[in-house]
């Protein structure tokens, strides 16, 4: 187990490197967008264009550019944005709290709602509540997130002339009320989409677990219903739940962008989007690198949690 963990840990940087390599060289394929052409105006002369190219470091051979980039990265210099000539790291640093908050809230809502209703519907199988929640879940999963978020803005305005706050991240430590007013409603809605999937998975996994012999044994031993559910049932249903939650976090990169866009919050999603549209290579490269680190770390934790949750899972 420990050996496995260590080996995975050693592989993490490798994955991140591979991802960065793919990105770096894809962006510089001969038929890919040339950023320099985006930073000229109608009066720009060829000399000025060459100067811009040199300034952006794109005049060197691709391999040399790569060496420079890696060298800078190792020294903690992430380069400057093409568009605004700002150091990349502070730009990211200012924005990531937005995404962290969206992520934490959404995952919290989806997990709490999903697991709770999953357990309820499994235990009360075939009851009215079961049907009700399942219908709700099936529909909840079928409605695009952007539509829910748009309704959140449009409906209160039509009904009560209330406009939910949009725009402007306020730190939760500075002004918790303002922060929560901005983030809670949309993250709750984002969470609902994830909760629907999680609820259905929890329910079906639990139902399967309930059919297993050891649950029957546990009941036969005289353990109370709730205890069986929590101690045995849920514990055994945890692996798929954790896996799905992991996938949910990854999916939230998308949800977060949609939320940022509709609620006009300037986070990493929008930053990435604008950078992609303006061929801002240093930003795109670093954001890919950054998400890779986040996702790889999370996947490692999920994998390791399998062994913690279910001792039968052995890692060779």
Partner 1 sequence: MERENYWQRRLQRRRLLGGAGVTALGATTWALAGCGDDDDDGGSGGDAAATAAGVKPGTATAPTPTTAGETINKDGVGKARQTAIFASINPYAGLDSGLLWGFTVFDHLWYTPLDTGVRENFLAASIEQPDPLHFTVKLQDSVFHDKAPANGRAVKASDVKASFESAAKQTKISNSSWWSQVFDHIETPDDKTVNFVLKAVDAWTFSSTNAGSPIASSILPEEIAKDPTFMDKDLVGSGRYQFVSHQNGANFKLQRFDKWRIKGEPYLAGIDYKLIQEQAAALAAFSAQEIDGVGLNNKLEREDLVKKHGDKIVVDAEDSRAVWLLQTRADGGFADQRVRQAIYLALDRKQMVDLMNFGEGKMSGPVPPAFGEALPAAEITSTYAKSDPAEAKKLLAATSFDVNHEYEMKYPLLGDRYQQFAQIAQSQLQKNLGLKIKLVPEDFGKWLAQSLYGSQYDGFICYPTLNYDDPSSYIGAYTKQIGGRPNWAAFSDDELDALVIKQKTILDDKQRLAAVQEIQRKAYAKAAPFIPTFIAITNTANWAYVKGRVIGRGSYGLFNGKVYIDKG
Partner 2 sequence: MATQSVTAPQTFDWAHVPKRPGFARRMGRLARQHPAGVFGLVILLLFVFLGLFGKQIAPYPADELSVGLPLQGPSSAHPFGLNQNGQDVFSRVISGAHVSFVICFWAVFLGAGMGSFLGILGGYFGRWLDYLIQRSGEAFAAFPSLVLFLMLRTAFGPTLKTIIVAIAIGALFGGNRVLRGQTIIERNQVYVESARAVGCSEWRIFIRHVVPNVLPLVVVIMSGTAGAAILAESALAFLGLGPADVSWGRDMSGNNLSIARTGYWHVVVFPGIAISLVVLGANLLGDSLRDIWDPRLRK
When the beta carbons of 31 and 162 are compared against partner 2, the nearer one is: 31
Binding to partner 1 by CB under 8 A, coded x per residue (else -) over 184-203, reads --------------------
Residue 247's contacts (CB-CB under 8 Å, 6 or more residues apart) are none
Q: Considering the complex, what minimum distance in angstroms separates the CB of residue 136 from partner 1? A: 26
CA 142 to each of CA 71, 114, 139: distance values in angstroms, whole numbers, following the listed order: 47, 16, 5
Query: Which residues inside 130-159 make contact with partner 1, applying CB under 8 A?
Result: 150, 153-154, 156-157
Q: Does 253 bind partner 2 (CB under 8 A)?
A: yes
The burial class, CB within 10 Å (0-12 / 13-18 / 19+), for 236 is buried
Binding to partner 1 by CB under 8 A, coded x per residue (else -) over 47-86, reads -x---x------------------------------xxxx
Question: Do residues 88 and 80 lie in contact, with contact meaning Cβ atoms separated by under 8 Å?
Answer: yes
Q: How far is the CB of 157 from partner 1 (least distance, A)?
A: 3
Rounded least distance, CB 297 to partner 2, Å: 10
Calpha distance 277→287 (Å, rounded): 14
Q: Which of residues 25-44 bind partner 2 (CB under 8 A)?
A: 26-27, 29, 31-33
Candidate ranges 61-69, 84-92, 164-172, 247-255; the one touching partner 2 (CB under 8 A): 247-255
Residue 150 in contact with partner 2, rule: CB under 8 A: yes
Q: For partner 2, which residue of 44, 65, 261, 266 counts as binding (CB under 8 A)? A: 261
Tell the smallest beta-carbon distance from residue 245 to partner 2 (Å): 12
Stretch that binds partner 2, among 57-65, 161-169, 176-184, 275-283 (CB under 8 A): 275-283
Q: Are 141 and 197 in contact (CB under 8 A)?
A: yes
Are 24 and 73 a contacting pair, CB within 8 Å? Answer: no
CB of 153 to partner 1, least distance (A): 5
Q: CA angle at residue 194 from 189 to 196, to 5 degrees? A: 95
Q: Which residues pair with 80 in a beta bridge?
A: 87
Among 13, 71, 144, 176, binds partner 2 (CB under 8 A): 144
Rounded-to-integer distance, Cα 94 and Cα 72, Å: 21
Residue 125 interacts with which of partner 1, partner 2, none, CB < 5 to 8 Å by class: partner 2
Report the site for partner 2 in 213-242 (rule: CB under 8 A).
Answer: 239-240
Q: What angle do CA 74, 77, 78 make, to 5 degrees?
A: 100
Q: How far is CA 58 from CA 19, 78, 206, 234, 277, in A?
A: 21, 16, 56, 55, 18
Report the alpha-carbon distance of residue 93 to residue 285 in Å, rounded: 15
Binding status of residue 161 toward partner 1 by CB under 8 A: yes
């Amino acid at each position: 187990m420990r050996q496995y963990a260590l080996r995975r840990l050693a592989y993490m940087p490798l994955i991140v490197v591979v991802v960065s390599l793919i990105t770096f060289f894809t962006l510089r394929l001969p038929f890919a967008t040339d950023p320099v052409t985006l930073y000229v105006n109608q009066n720009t002369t060829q000399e000025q264009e060459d100067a811009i190219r040199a300034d952006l470091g794109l005049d060197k051979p691709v391999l040399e550019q790569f060496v420079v980039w890696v060298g800078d990265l190792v020294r903690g210099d992430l380069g400057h944005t093409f568009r605004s000539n700002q150091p990349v790291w502070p730009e990211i640093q200012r924005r990531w709290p937005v995404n962290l908050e969206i992520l934490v809230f959404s995952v919290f809502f989806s997990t709490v709602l999903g697991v709770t209703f999953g357990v309820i519907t499994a235990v009360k199988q075939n009851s009215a509540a079961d049907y009700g929640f399942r219908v709700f879940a099936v529909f909840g999963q079928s409605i695009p997130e952007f539509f829910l978020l748009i309704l959140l803005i449009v409906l209160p305005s039509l009904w009560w002339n209330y406009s939910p706050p949009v725009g402007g991240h306020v730190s939760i430590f500075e002004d918790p009320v303002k922060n929560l007013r901005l983030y809670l409603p949309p993250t709750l809605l984002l969470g609902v989409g994830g909760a629907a999937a999680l609820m259905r998975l929890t329910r079906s996994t639990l139902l399967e677990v309930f059919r297993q012999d050891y649950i029957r044994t546990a009941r036969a031993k005289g353990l109370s219903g709730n205890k069986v559910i929590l101690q045995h049932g849920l514990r055994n249903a945890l692996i798929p739940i954790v896996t799905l939650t992991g996938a949910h976090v990854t999916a939230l990169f998308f949800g977060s962008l949609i939320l940022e866009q509709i609620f006009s919050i300037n986070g990493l999603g929008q930053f990435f989007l604008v950078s992609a549209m303006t061929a801002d290579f240093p930003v795109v490269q670093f954001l890919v690198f950054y998400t890779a680190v986040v996702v790889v770390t999370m996947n490692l934790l999920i994998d390791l949690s399998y062994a913690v949750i279910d001792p039968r899972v052995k890692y060779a």
